[in-house]
Chain A
Amino acid sequence: MPQIAQLSETYASQIFWMLAFFGIIFFVVGRGMVPKVMATVEARDQQIAADLAAAEAARKAADEQEEAWRVQANAQRAEALAVIAAAKADAATASEARLVKAGSAIDARLAEADARIAKARTSALAEIDAVAADAASSIVSRLAGITVDAKAAGAAVKEALNG
């Protein structure tokens, strides 16, 4: 076993070179390079964390804006509905008023027409009396050859018509 057989002649060399090379590794690699490598990792982790935080903040802001937009849209929709309702109500009252106006005009014309008809009827009835008396007097003169005066004929016709 050379580890033991050669120990007395090599231990000084082994220990010296081990310490020498481990010293190089510790001071150059361990203290010199490893902190830089770890700083790089740390910087990357921080960058990732910062990016994630920024993305989160942006998402929150977008959510808030969407919420605000939704509130605004709801308000505008409500406003529009109110305007439509008001316009509808206005239109309904206006058309009602016009209907009332038109109805009253029609009523007036109807009443006027009724009055005219009634007047025409009375005048026509009066004329019928005169025409009937005339006709009756002429029929009597032709049949009986008697001349009846208009007054008598009118009375007779009135009597016959009215029963």
Chain B
Amino acid sequence: MAAEQAKVDPMHQFSIEPLFGTDHWSIAGYNIAFTNSALWMAITTVVLLVFVQGGLKRQLVPGRWQMAVEGFTGFIDNLLAANIGPAGKKYVPYIFSLFMFILFANLLGLLPLMLLGVHPFTPTSHFSVTGVLAILSFAIVLIVGFKRHGLHFFSLFVPHGTPLWLMWLIPFIELISFLVRPFSLALRLFVAMMAGHVLLEVLSSFVIGSVNSGPLWGSIVGVPSFILMVAICALELLVAGIQAYVFALLTSLYLNDAENLH
């Protein structure tokens, strides 16, 4: 029984295991071993490449695949047009890459590949990964903002209609809320992905443990837990899409600040 419980460790799925290059792959002294996390990023990249390549037939009357790819590009295009306006067109490649990478990484991490003996890994459940994306977005916002508006970009911290006697407080609050953005971006995605996976793992440990302790506990605890797992799997698919959408939406809103400044 103790061995069973040790086996279902809900945190084990997040552990990073170096696959190769542990010893000598390094840049400036930093080890860059190819891990299972990197492997799943690579798989995500390949799947995304294949997916978009399949939509590149450029037919006048699109097939299903082309329709799906054009649906995604049109979705991102509309998102940017609605939030930034005509100036948002140039951010389509970045937001599309961001959205599709997060979406595909989330979905691939949910695949029941354990049935085939492969342990799926979700790179987006690590804040060291989501942090890179968040800092990338934040850096683009800063670069675009200062390039377009110069030091006038600081007026972002003074919203319209701020009374003079509040000038000592409001810019300070705005500055903090601005600086929190990369953290909220990174943590939101990482927490959402981790929570769902932990929940599924905990419920599956309920199912395994209760079934092992006999048919009575199996039917009282195991069956409801299993039904709940099925429902939560559906919820997780939804969350995978929503979190990718939220990341892309918030990035485009921040870009709107940099592009249009009030």
Which residues of the other chain, B, contact A30 by a CB distance below 8 angstroms? 92-94, 96-97
Please encode chain A, from 119 to 159, with 1 for each CB lying within 8 Å of some chain B CB and 0 for all others: 00000000000000000000000000000000000000000
Instruction: Enumerate chain B residues within 8 angstroms of A22, measured Cβ to Cβ.
Output: 97, 101, 132-133, 136
Q: Verify if A62 is at the interface (C-beta below 8 Å from B).
A: no
User: Using a CB-CB cutoff of 8 Å, which residues 6-45 of chain A contact chain B?
Assistant: 6-7, 9-19, 21-22, 24-26, 28-31, 33-38, 40-41, 43-44
A1 at the interface (CB under 8 A from B): yes
Pick the contact of B194: A3, A37, A47 (CB < 8 A): A3
Question: What chain A residues lie within 8 Å of B15 (beta carbons)?
Answer: 2, 6
Smallest Cβ-Cβ distance to B43: which chain A residue: A21
The answer on a CB contact under 8 Å between A14 and B53 is no
Quick one: closest B residue to A6, CB to CB? B16
Q: A17-B32, A25-B100 are in contact. Are A10 and B16 (CB under 8 A)?
A: yes
Cα A12 to Cα B38 with chains together (Å): 11
Closest to A10 in B: B16
Cβ of B77 under 8 Å from chain A: yes
Contact between A26 and B31 (Cβ–Cβ < 8 Å)? Answer: no
Q: Is B58 in contact with chain A by the CB < 8 A criterion?
A: yes
Q: How far is the CB of A7 from chain B (nearest CB, A)?
A: 6
Q: Which of A2, A11, A31 contacts B11 (CB 8 A)?
A: A2
A3 near B128 with CB under 8 A, answer: yes
Whether the Cβ atoms of B31 and A12 lie closer than 8 Å is yes
B56 at the interface (CB under 8 A from A): yes
Give the interface centre of A2, A15, A34 by most chain B CB atoms within 10 Å: A34
Q: Known A7-B128, A13-B35; judge A21-B44 contact (CB<8 A).
A: yes
Q: Is the CB of B41 within 8 A of A18?
A: yes
Of the four ranges (under 10, 10 to 19, 20 to 34, 35 or more), the interface on chain B belongs to 35 or more
Cα of A22 to Cα of B56 in the assembled complex, Å: 20
**Interface: B190 (CB within 8 A):** yes
- Shortest B167–chain A CB gap in Å is 39
B222 at the interface (CB under 8 A from A): no
Q: How far is the CA of A1 from the CA of B62 in the complex (A)?
A: 46
Please pick, from A2, A3, A33, the residue contacting B52 in the complex, using a CB distance under 8 A. A33
Complex-state Cα separation, A61 to B41, whole angstroms = 59
Report the Cα distance A15→B128, complex, angstroms: 7
Contacts of B55 in A (CB 8 A): 33, 37
The docked-state distance in angstroms from the alpha carbon of A139 to that of B209 is 174
Quick check: is B165 within 8 A (CB to CB) of the other chain? no
Q: A3 and B41 in contact (CB under 8 A), knowing A22-B132, A25-B100, A34-B73?
A: no
Q: Tell me, in angstroms, the Cα distance from A24 to B136 when the chains sit together.
A: 15
Q: Are B128 and A26 closer than 8 Å at their CB atoms?
A: no
Chain B residues proximal to chain A, CB less than 8 Å: 11-12, 14-16, 18, 26-27, 30-35, 37-38, 41-42, 44-45, 48-49, 52-53, 55-56, 58-60, 62, 66, 69-70, 73-74, 77, 92-94, 96-97, 100-101, 123, 125-129, 132-133, 136, 190, 194
- Interchain residue pairs with CB less than 8 A apart (17): A1-B11, A2-B16, A3-B14, A6-B15, A10-B35, A12-B26, A12-B30, A14-B37, A14-B128, A25-B45, A26-B97, A30-B96, A33-B52, A34-B92, A34-B93, A37-B69, A40-B70
Given A2-B11, A21-B101: 15 more A-B contacts, CB < 8 Å: A2-B16, A3-B194, A13-B37, A13-B38, A17-B41, A18-B129, A22-B97, A25-B97, A25-B100, A29-B97, A30-B94, A30-B96, A34-B96, A37-B69, A41-B70
List the 3 closest pairs (A to B, CB-CB), nearest first: A30-B93, A12-B30, A17-B38
A contacts, CB < 8 Å to B: 1-3, 6-7, 9-19, 21-22, 24-26, 28-31, 33-38, 40-41, 43-44, 47
